[in-house]
Amino acid sequence: MLSDALRDQLLNYLDGNMAPADRARLEQQFETNSELNAAWQALREMQAAGRDWEDVAVPQWSRLAGVTARPGNTGIWPVSLGWLSLATSITAILLVLFRAEISVTEQGFSVAFHESGLNPTTLEQRLSDLSVAHESTLNQRMAALEKKSLEMNRQLLTAALSYSRDERRREMTALATNWSRARSSDLMLVDGIRDNQLDDRLALRQLYTRLPPIN
Amino acid sequence: MIGVDSDEKLIAKALAGSQRAWSKLVGRYESRVYNQALRMTRHRADAMDLMQEIFLAVYRNLPNYRHEGSFPAWLSRIAINRSIDYQRHRGRQPEQATIDVAELLGEDSPQDALGLSRRNTEISRMLANLNPDQRVVVELKFFQQFTFEDIAQQLGISSNTAKNRLYSAIAHLQKSMEIKNAL
């Protein structure tokens, strides 16, 4: 195991923070100390990894996802629900707490608080209306989110399938090139064999002509 | 540079409520953060989630940014802390929790199907051999070029601990190199 001092020297060497004399001394040790040399190779491998990494393009995304009107304003309310839902809920709570009565007359619209004559049935009806309105808002938002999510999934699958198709195309092209290369090599081989056979036949004929006739 | 807003200017505008300024600031650093997340998680979807978490954390903490150090260093600190939290959380999850599209399509390796280059795939495999603590130190040292003092400060550990983690990472790598050579 390498000593701490040697390890530190190795890291200083890697960072280029070493006096020339110390550098030379350490470089000599690389040749004699195999453990030190192996550690140095591993360090260089990591350094090369840091240098060689090719940045991958960032997929499309919403840079404003989850961003509120001003930074730091997070609170306990989930950001994704938005201000409209928050305002609706707070209004509903306030209306209940202050026992508000909303009435529409021919003169216009009026809101009264602490109405003693507020009927529980009316109150229940109003709460129910508010609840329905709130639920409808939430449903709309959920539907929009679901639609967005489905669209994103579709895009992801399309990209993946397109990549797969391209990959297969590349493989087929490579296969065709290899086949064509093998075929021309085979043809050359066949030509060579044919030439050899012709040479052999010629040589045999010449031999026959030189042989004495058989009685 | 003329016509290019400084980080500080964009931060001031974002703090005043400008979403455009925030978007510009994110655009300036998203590639760096995404690639870091990709190296830390080794999954495209996880990297995307992690990047969004990081930028959300940065946005929420923007009022606390004191301009004492550079913005990239501050961002990197948040990114690393989030990555550590993410990996700790992942460590408690069953492996099946992360299913990649590539896996669904039956690819041999998620990296191959992510369109990563051969070299990036090799690097990714090398990092996969390291435990989260070692991976973080390797990330800061070799991919983000921090000094050991900076790494120690970012992780809240001593400089010696940071070096020790790097040495253990080297030991792991040496072992895998030996196996590779033997094969």
Query: What would the pLDDT profile of B36-85 be if each residue is shown by its tens digit?
Result: 999 988 888 899 999 999 999 999 998 888 777 788 989 998 999 999 88
The region of weakest confidence among A23-32, A97-106, B62-71, B114-123 is A97-106
Query: Other CB atoms closer than 10 Å to residue B19's CB: what's the count?
Result: 15
Using the 3D structure, point to which of B97, B120, B147 is the last residue of a domain. B97
Q: Check residue B124 and give its pLDDT.
A: 87
Q: How many CA atoms lie within 13 A of B89 on its CB side?
A: 11
Residues of B in contact with A168 (CB under 8 A): none
Residues of A in contact with B143 (CB under 8 A): 49-50, 53
Residues of B in contact with A42 (CB under 8 A): 170, 173-174, 177
Q: What is the DSSP letter of A103?
A: E
Query: What would the pLDDT profile of A47-85 be if each residue is shown by its tens digit?
Result: 999 999 988 888 888 888 777 666 665 544 444 456 777
In a domain, B81, yes or no: yes
Q: What is the mean pLDDT of residues B1-15?
A: 81
Question: Of the candidates A91, A89, A54, A160, which has an alpha carbon nearest to the alpha carbon of residue B31?
Answer: A54
Query: Which phi and psi angles does A148 have, rounded to 5°?
Result: -65, -45
Please determine, for residue B106, whether its predicted confidence score (pLDDT) is greater than 50: no
What CATH number does residue B88 fall under?
A: 1.10.1740.10
Interface touch A50/B145, C-beta < 8 Å? yes
Q: Check residue B48 and give its pLDDT.
A: 92
Mutate to test the interface with B, among A14, A41, A62, A67 (most CBs of B within 10 A): A67
Interface touch B123/A66, C-beta < 8 Å? no
Residues of A in contact with B34 (CB under 8 A): 56, 58
Using the 3D structure, point to which of B74, B97, B120 is the last residue of a domain. B97
Higher pLDDT, A112 or B146: B146
State the Cα–Cα distance between residues A69 and A198, nearest whole angstrom: 90
Cβ pairs A/B, distance under 8 A? 119
Residues of B in contact with A63 (CB under 8 A): 22-23, 26-27, 30, 55
Q: Where are chain A's structural domains?
A: 4-46, 81-176
In a domain, B73, yes or no: yes
Give the closest of A15, A70, A160 to B17, CB-based.
A70
Mind giving me the DSSP string for A117-155?
T--HHHHHHHHHHHHHHHHHHHHHHHHHHHHHHHHHHHH
Helix (H, G, I), strand (E, B) or coil at B82: helix
How close, in Å, is residue A8 to chain B by CA atoms?
Answer: 8
Query: What would the pLDDT profile of A88-131 be if each residue is shown by its tens digit?
Result: 888 888 878 777 777 776 777 777 766 555 677 877 888 888 98
Q: Check residue A21 and give its pLDDT.
A: 92
Please determine, for residue B132, whether its predicted confidence score (pLDDT) is greater than 70: yes
Domain limits at B175? Answer: 129-183
Interface touch B120/A157, C-beta < 8 Å? no
Query: What would the pLDDT profile of A143-175 be if each residue is shown by its tens digit?
Result: 999 999 999 999 999 889 988 888 888 899 899
Please determine, for residue A214, whether its predicted confidence score (pLDDT) is greater than 80: no
Based on the fold, state whether residues B17 and B85 are members of the same structural domain.
yes
Instruction: Please provide the distance, in angstroms rounded to a whole number, between the alpha carbons at the two ends of chain A.
Output: 92
Question: Which residue of chain A is at minimal alpha-carbon distance from B12?
Answer: A71
Interface touch A42/B170, C-beta < 8 Å? yes
Mutate to test the interface with A, among B29, B145, B170, B181 (most CBs of A within 10 A): B170
Please check whether residue B163 is in contact with residue B155, taking contact to mean a CB–CB distance below 8 angstroms.
Answer: no
Based on the fold, state whether residues B143 and B92 are members of the same structural domain.
no
Higher pLDDT, A97 or B162: B162
Q: Check residue B105 and give its pLDDT.
A: 38
Based on the fold, state whether residues B27 and B80 are members of the same structural domain.
yes
Question: Which residue of chain B is at minimal alpha-carbon distance from A10?
Answer: B167
Q: What is the DSSP letter of B6?
A: -
How close, in Å, is residue B9 to chain A by CA atoms?
Answer: 15
Interface touch B17/A46, C-beta < 8 Å? no
Based on the fold, state whether residues B175 and B135 are members of the same structural domain.
yes
Residues of B in contact with A50 (CB under 8 A): 141-143, 145
How much of chain A, in percent, has pLDDT values that exceed 90? Answer: 23
Based on the fold, state whether residues B92 and B161 are members of the same structural domain.
no
Q: What is the mean pLDDT of residues B23-44?
A: 91
What CATH number does residue B164 fall under?
A: 1.10.10.10
Q: What is the mean pLDDT of residues B12-16?
A: 89
Q: Check residue B37 and give its pLDDT.
A: 93
| Helical H segments across chain B, by residue range | 7-15, 19-41, 44-61, 71-92, 101-104, 110-113, 118-128, 132-138, 148-155, 159-182
Give how many domains chain B has, as a whole number.
Answer: 2
Give the closest of B114, B148, B173 to A45, CB-based.
B173
Angle at CA of residue B123, ends B71 and B37, nearest 5°: 35
